[in-house]
Homo-oligomer: A and B are copies of this chain.
Amino acid sequence: MSDQRRLDVLRAIVEDYVHTQEPVGSRVLTERHRLGVSPATVRNDMAALEDAGYIAQPHTSAGRIPTDKGYRLFVDRLSEARPLSQPQKRAIEKFLSEAVDLDDVIGRAGRLIAQLTGQVAVVQYPSLRRSGLRHLELVPTGENRLLVVVITDNGRVEQRFLEVADEVDEAALGELRARLNAAAAGRRLTQMDLAFSEVADVVAPEHRALVAAIGEVVSNALDEEQEERLVVAGQANLARAGMGFDQGLSPLLEALEEQVVLLGLLTEMTSDENVAVSIGHENRLAGLARASVVSTGYGTDGDTVALLSSIGPTRMDYPGTIAAVRAVARYLSRVLPT
């Protein structure tokens, strides 16, 4: 009994099931794939595959469907990413390069993945960790309220409200703004504390507390932990008939709304710029037990700054999804401001 043929059978089962969404029996298997053996032989192989846990039958005398373990083997050893066509690549490049700002880039990347894969896309905003400060702006906004806007080297903009005890007059604010910008401009975000304490030393005593408060807000805003914004696109794809989620949809949608938890999961499974795949119950989240996640990092020159994923049913088209995710991550890395 050839080991190789068993793997061929498994691959055939996965491909057929992904395509038809129906349990596949020994007869159609021999008809649709040139295995060169009879249904009876295939049946023997299938029995062995079932014993090994790669496939299962939903009920006696139905065909077989792959298990999570079966998909795992398929992804690891039986498939290769199917490269996108040239027109597709050009379309990706064109669509991403038309973006007008960072929000738009991220949004477009999400829609792109959603459309290419027919599934849900999750895109994380690029991290701020390694950037420097470009400009700090203080905007008074109503009584006792200040808006602090931070612009970084790499074009990221963060804003935070700050409650202040006493109203600060325009002139004092202007001076503060000038001093802070002079002291902090160009510095790494990690050295920000230092810059703020320098300013605190030279400023009028009644403003020291304010400077400290601003400093706290700024480092807070740039803290990596806060850096957890996700964009989700293509949720409508999940509801389409034939996705296999027809009634188990709400746990999945709930998981997608729990952005903090979701990001944790993605971060955990994605180590570098390779594409990682997590299948069915391999996902730590219960809501994703019937789904698979294909995820990769992106960022300028090998420096992974954020994540990009596609989520779909376990019976997704893995080669196609992996290729799409990889391609978009690559273009995203290129088009992204340094």
Binding site for B on A (CB under 8 A): 99-103, 134-135, 137, 139, 141-142, 145, 147, 149, 151, 153-155, 157-161, 221, 229, 233-236, 238-241, 246-247, 249-250, 253-254, 256-257, 337-338
User: How far is the CB of A200 from the nearest CB of chain B, in Å?
Assistant: 22
Kindly provide the distance from the CB of A246 to the nearest chain B CB, expressed in whole angstroms. Answer: 7
Is there an interface contact between B100 and A160, defined as CB atoms closer than 8 Å?
yes
What does DSSP make chain A's interface, helix, strand, loop or mixed?
Answer: mixed
Given known pairs A236-B256, A239-B250, the reply for A141 and B154 (CB within 8 Å) is yes
Give the Cβ gap from A142 to chain B, nearest Cβ, in Å. Answer: 5
In the bound complex, do residue B153 and residue A139 qualify as a contact, i.e. CB atoms below 8 Å apart?
A: yes
Is there an interface contact between A101 and B159, defined as CB atoms closer than 8 Å? yes
- Closest B residue, CB atoms, query A229: B103
Distance of A312 from chain B, by nearest CB (Å): 15
Could you list 5 further interchain pairs (A-B, Cβ under 8 angstroms) beyond the known A142-B337, A239-B250? A102-B159, A135-B137, A155-B159, A161-B337, A239-B249
Q: With the chains together, A234 CA to B258 CA distance in Å?
A: 10
* Closest beta carbon of chain B to A45's beta carbon, Å: 38
Q: List 24 A-B contacts (CB under 8 A).
A: A100-B160, A100-B161, A100-B221, A101-B161, A103-B159, A134-B137, A134-B139, A135-B135, A135-B139, A139-B151, A139-B153, A141-B337, A142-B337, A147-B155, A149-B151, A149-B155, A149-B157, A157-B157, A234-B257, A236-B253, A236-B254, A236-B256, A239-B239, A241-B250
Whether the pair A250, B254 counts as a contact (CB closer than 8 A) is no
List residues of chain B with CB within 8 A of the CB of A141: 154-155, 337-338
A235-B247 contact given A141-B155, A149-B151, A151-B137, CB 8 Å threshold: no
Which 4 pairs of residues, A with B, have the shortest CB-CB distance?
A: A141-B337, A236-B253, A239-B250, A147-B155
Could you tell me the distance in whole angstroms from the C-beta of A272 to the nearest C-beta in chain B?
23
In whole angstroms, how far apart are the Cα atoms of A234 and B246 in the complex?
A: 18
Give which listed residue, B155, B161, B257, contacts A139 with CB less than 8 A.
B155
Contacts of A239 in B (CB 8 A): 239, 249-250, 253
**CB closest chain-B residue, reference A338:** B142
Query: In whole Å, how far is A182's beta carbon from the nearest beta carbon of chain B?
Result: 13
Rounded to whole Å, the gap between the CB of A336 and the closest CB of chain B is: 9
A194 smallest CB distance to B (angstroms): 23
Tell whether, in the assembled complex, residue B236 and residue A240 are in contact, meaning their CB atoms are under 8 Å apart. no
Name the distance in Å between A262's Cβ and chain B's nearest Cβ: 12
Report the separation of the CA atoms of residues A221 and B102 in the bound assembly, to the nearest whole angstrom: 13
